[in-house]
């Protein structure tokens, strides 16, 4: 039987976070939903892959993929989503700062019978970020600039905790760093996005792989690229009849 939910976690040199994060996730979801966990090792140079193999031995629902070379977070997430079997995919960062206990809250929204049919992305909003001051300030400025230019009305597009439709994600234009622009890209294709307050925990292990200058250098060209994609988008109103002449509202 196919799972109802796939969880994708990208890792790069985050071996110390693996065991506690896996245990927390299985504890939060095992009695709630049929799910699979797909861990993607993005070309780690430490013992991340070996620790993932160890974690896999005690959790049959854990699947493991590895990039031979580092490709970046967006590509690692996309590799996991392509392997996923469920219609809905949740993502978390591999550093342990996202709380797996928040995943059921996001899942409850899409399980609700009153859930809008066009809802394609539920994204976390980190109200009390547990990062250094400079990182919090740079992120706040980047979010405001992005929201002003792209009009995606998403206060925290960089939050790693997300829940989205697999088919909607794979229908998006792919590029490096696209994970920071998912709300705008989803809306470009006609999908609805909801932001939900979530927890954010202090980094207890490892180090951040992004600096302020790194984000700025990649963010400005990407922002302009997404703006161009928005302006070039066309969403047709599509009428469709199958081979037996039956009309359908949508494919």
Looking at the 3D structure of the chain, how many domains does it have? 1
Residue 61 lies in a domain: yes
Residue 204 lies in a domain: yes
Residue 28 lies in a domain: yes
DSSP string for 179-206:
GGGHHHHHHHTT-EEEEEEE------SS
Q: Cα dihedral angle (71, 77, 78, 81), rounded to 10 degrees?
A: 150
CA distance 38 to 96: 16
Q: What angle do CA 64, 121, 197 make, to 5 degrees?
A: 95
Residue 248 lies in a domain: no
Global pTM reads 0.87
CA distance 199 to 130: 9
DSSP-derived secondary structure letter, 114: T
| Contact status, residue 226 vs residue 233, Cβ threshold 8 Å | no
Whole-angstrom distance between the N-terminal and C-terminal Cα of the chain? 24
Q: Which two tokens stand for residue 244?
A: 């037996």
> What residues make up the domain containing 27?
5-235
| Contact status, residue 221 vs residue 190, Cβ threshold 8 Å | no
The helix (run of H) or strand (run of E) holding residue 54 is: helix 48-57
Residue 206 lies in a domain: yes
Residue 211 lies in a domain: yes
Residue 73 lies in a domain: yes
How does pLDDT run along the chain (251 residues), one tens digit per residue?
Answer: 789 999 999 999 999 999 999 999 999 999 999 999 999 999 999 999 999 999 999 898 999 999 999 999 999 999 999 999 999 999 999 999 999 999 999 999 999 999 999 999 999 999 877 667 777 777 777 778 888 889 898 999 989 999 999 999 999 999 999 999 999 999 999 999 999 999 998 877 656 555 555 555 557 888 889 998 999 888 887 788 877 766 655 44
Residue 41 lies in a domain: yes
Looking at residue 94, what is its pLDDT?
95
120: domain CATH number? 3.90.550.10
């Amino acid at each position: 039987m196919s799972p109802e939910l796939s969880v994708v976690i990208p890792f790069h040199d985050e071996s110390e976070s693996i065991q506690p994060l896996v245990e927390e996730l299985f504890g939060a979801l095992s009695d709630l939903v049929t799910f699979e966990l797909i861990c993607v090792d993005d070309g780690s140079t430490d013992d991340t892959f070996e620790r993932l193999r160890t974690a896999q031995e005690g959790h049959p629902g854990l699947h493991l993929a590895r990039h031979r070379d580092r490709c970046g977070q967006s590509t690692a997430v996309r590799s996991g989503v392509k392997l996923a079997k469920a219609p809905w995919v949740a993502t978390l960062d591999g550093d342990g700062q996202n709380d797996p206990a928040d995943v059921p809250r996001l899942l409850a929204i899409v399980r609700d019978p009153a859930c809008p049919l066009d809802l394609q992305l539920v994204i976390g909003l980190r109200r009390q970020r547990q990062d250094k001051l400079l990182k919090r300030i740079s992120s706040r400025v980047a979010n405001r600039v992005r929201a002003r230019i792209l009009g995606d009305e998403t206060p925290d597009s960089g939050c790693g905790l997300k829940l989205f439709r697999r088919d909607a994600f794979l229908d998006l234009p792919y590029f490096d760093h696209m994970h920071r622009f998912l709300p705008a890209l989803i809306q470009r294709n006609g999908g609805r996005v909801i932001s939900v307050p979530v927890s954010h925990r202090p980094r207890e292990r490892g180090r951040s792989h992004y600096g302020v200058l790194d984000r700025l250098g990649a963010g400005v060209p990407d922002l302009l690229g997404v703006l161009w994609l928005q302006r070039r988008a066309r969403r047709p109103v599509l009428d469709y009849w199958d081979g037996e002449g039956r009309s359908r509202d949508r494919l």
